[in-house]
Amino acid sequence: MTVPSEPTATPPDAGELAAQAHSSGAPTQPRRWVLHIDMDAFFASVEQLTRPTLRGRPVLVGGVDGRGVVAGASYEARAFGVHSAMPMWQAKKLAGFSSVTVRPRRAVYVAASRRVFDIISRAAGVVEQLSIDEAFLEPAHLQGADASEVVAWAEALRAEIAATTGLPSSVGAGSGKQYAKIASGLAKPDGVHVIHHATQQEQISVLPVRSLWGIGPVAEAKLHSAGIRTIGDFAALRRADAVRLLGQAAGSSLHELAQGRDDRPTAPRKEAKSIGAEHTYPQDLTTTAHTDEALRRAFDAALRRFRKDPRGAKTVTVKIKLSDFSQHTRSATLPHPTSDEDVLWLQATTLVRYPADVGPIRLVGVSFSNLEHAHQQVMFPELDRLLVTTRQEHQLARDAERAAEWEAGMTMPQPAPTDASGAEGGEDAGPQPTHEWWPTRDVWHPDYGHGWVQGSGHGVVSVRFETRTTTTPRARSFAVDDPLLEPADPLDSLEWGLGEREIAAALAAREPAEDARAGHSDEDPGDAVPGREDRTVGEELPEG
């Protein structure tokens, strides 16, 4: 907990303030306090909460295949330099053999978020929720309070969240949203930090310019090229220079924030109508391989934001801009909303256009829209067919394009496909499992209860049996075709006795694979301008 000291001058009493206001003819304004709460390493913290064996270990949440990226990392993993959006292979290399890679369990995160924000709403009243794990607050009863009162309130809120959910959080406070956001970053992990009104410019002026909310790597690079390293440097610029460097919208608003002008109200946000990302390239894309890489980059950036929204998407849109600045946009709408990465990715791959067809490409973007809270209990048959037929058809077309480019000396051939064990071909490897036992999948056994898969191979699956309340986890091994071992509902790992609202929210976010125990399908699942409600394009703010 960090609380900068109050100004040393003796504060005037109420009578003096009233006299000053009367003599000046100006009404007094109560001191404003905006707070920003951010759950610490939320995805990884939920995994460590529900799987006690993972506590104290480097946990990497995200895609487990060759193209996966880190959606969240525990602080133990961050100590090795791991961060959100990093390629998973790189994160594993940094974190070492002691790290554990966990597939995201969206329904569990949404249920945990719902419980956290129920606590926050009761305490603060109006909440401006930014994502699944962070929000701005402006409690009316803190208007005019001093820093010590704000700290006491924030600590009480964090204590209630920790006692009720077992999850850590950090809170920052300041005179506006920008200062509150910066303060919460300074409070991490698991603390409170207050930026006092009287010394706020002094405190933030020495911070790196990247600390300013809305400055991402692209804007940071532009500012660094102009010799701007700190928030103070940026604040000292002329407004015209800030606009020249970052553009009219971003440059103007960010410059005001750097100078301490932030009167944006705290209010419930409208739900985004679409979520996406796009990237412009300094050199035109002229090959299928480079276009595929650009598509994957845009898709992964959009997916990171999408994972922080509890809704599913029905429509996938791919946008490309050509070297002549003409724009091509193609969309496809699914029969049901989904948050399944494979389904969304396959849709994106069917929509992209290639340089051989349209000419050199300078921009590639992906967005998800028609966002709905939908009870997604099964892998709908039409989506299942889409996964099979689209993958086959698109791979054939992609292979033909890559082969043509390879023959022309433009790209290298791709490695031969492998089966689930990593061996080429489909040679029989022994007993075939009734279900797919991927690592970290939730399972249930009548003799041992709820657990998760630690690994499988050679006809054997190893399981760690534990939940949030477990004090002594048990490890057991079974034949992969053991009829008593079943896929389980990930929500059971919380053991909270979820209420109706939490269940509804979790079901809306549930992945198809999470319903397998109930007899369903066994399938598996640019810089932002502060204050802008449309979050479809911009750089991801890292998970707390």
pLDDT tens across 365-375, in order?
A: 999 998 886 54
Quick one: 361 exposed, middle or buried, by C-beta within 10 A (0-12, 13-18, 19+)? buried
Note whether residue 317 is domain-resident. Answer: yes
Q: Are strands 127-131 and 327-338 parallel, antiparallel or unpaired?
A: unpaired
Buried b (16+ CB within 10 A) or exposed e, 203-229: bbbeeebebbbbbeeebbebbeeeebe
Residue 238 per-residue DSSP state = -
Q: State residue 85's pLDDT score.
A: 84
Note whether residue 309 is domain-resident. Answer: yes
Instruction: For residue 314, give its domain range.
Output: 274-407
Q: State residue 435's pLDDT score.
A: 81
CA distance 69 to 86: 6
Note whether residue 541 is domain-resident. Answer: no
Domain count along the chain: 1
Residues of the chain with pLDDT under 50: 4-28, 375-428, 512-543
CA distance 28 to 12: 13
Is 533 tagged catalytic? no
CA distance 119 to 524: 32
- Residue 314 belongs to domain with CATH number: 3.30.1490.100
CA distance 220 to 267: 29
Note whether residue 137 is domain-resident. Answer: no
Q: Count of alpha carbons within 13 Å of 246, Cβ hemisphere only?
A: 27
Neighbours of 157 (CB within 10 A): 22
CA distance 259 to 248: 17
Q: State residue 385's pLDDT score.
A: 43
Q: State residue 1's pLDDT score.
A: 56
CA distance 106 to 112: 10
Q: State residue 529's pLDDT score.
A: 38
Q: State residue 505's pLDDT score.
A: 60
Read off the pLDDT of residues 12-57 as tens digits, 9 standing for 90 and up: 333 343 334 333 444 445 689 999 999 999 999 999 999 999 999 9
Note whether residue 110 is domain-resident. Answer: no
Helices (H), 354-491: 355-358, 381-407
Quick one: 5 exposed, middle or buried, by C-beta within 10 A (0-12, 13-18, 19+)? exposed
Tokens at 42, concatenated = 């939320």
Read off the pLDDT of residues 196-234 as tens digits, 9 standing for 90 and up: 988 888 989 999 999 998 898 889 999 999 999 999 999
| Confidence (pTM) | 0.68
Note whether residue 481 is domain-resident. Answer: no
- Could you tell me if 227 and 189 are in contact, meaning their C-beta atoms sit under 8 angstroms apart? no
CA distance 30 to 14: 12
- Could you tell me if 323 and 345 are in contact, meaning their C-beta atoms sit under 8 angstroms apart? no
Helices (H), 259-340: 288-306
Instruction: Express as a percent the part of the chain with pLDDT over 90.
Output: 57
Which residue in the list 47, 76, 134, 220 is annotated as catalytic? Answer: 134
Read off the pLDDT of residues 403-445 as tens digits, 9 standing for 90 and up: 444 444 433 333 334 343 334 444 445 555 568 899 999 999 9
CA distance 411 to 286: 11
Note whether residue 371 is domain-resident. Answer: yes
- Could you tell me if 143 and 159 are in contact, meaning their C-beta atoms sit under 8 angstroms apart? no
Note whether residue 388 is domain-resident. Answer: yes
Residue 325 per-residue DSSP state = S
Q: State residue 426's pLDDT score.
A: 44
Residue written as token pair 């009167």: 263
DSSP H/E element including 49: helix 42-50
Quick one: 235 exposed, middle or buried, by C-beta within 10 A (0-12, 13-18, 19+)? buried
Neighbours of 389 (CB within 10 A): 11
Residue written as token pair 């303030």: 17
